[in-house]
Amino acid sequence: MAAPFTAMSQAIDRAARTSASSPDQAPDSSASSGDETSWWSPPTRFVLESIIGVLVFGVVAAAAYEVSTGVHLLEKQGVDVVIAYGLRLAEYFLFAADLGLFMRFLFKSFLRTWKAM
């Protein structure tokens, strides 16, 4: 899962380095050596990673919603109470894990952006 984010981050860094160095600068000038990124690169990366994170969160939350819908249908058909509780527990665990990992992802992305600026 980290591979798309890494590839996206590398592409943003390449674009920032390319736009930071202009072709009309002399080779001996004190321009950046290509290691520095422009000021907009970290916030742009944060926004893109946040959008991707929201989309992934939405997909997993939709799965939790579908489990909830399935549990309601099974309860209407008279499934055993223990099975219904087990499925409901799985639904809550899925949503809680999704929310916790989403918040952790956003926090770590924010910290990475803050350090890069």
What would the pLDDT profile of 68-81 be if each residue is shown by its tens digit?
Answer: 999 999 999 988 98
pLDDT tens string 8-58: 666 666 665 665 554 554 444 444 445 566 878 888 888 998 899 899 999
Structure tokens, 77: 């058909």
Cβ of 44: how many Cβ atoms within 10 Å? 16
The residue type found at 91 is E
Q: Find all residues with CB under 8 Å of 82, minimum gap 6, and list them.
A: none
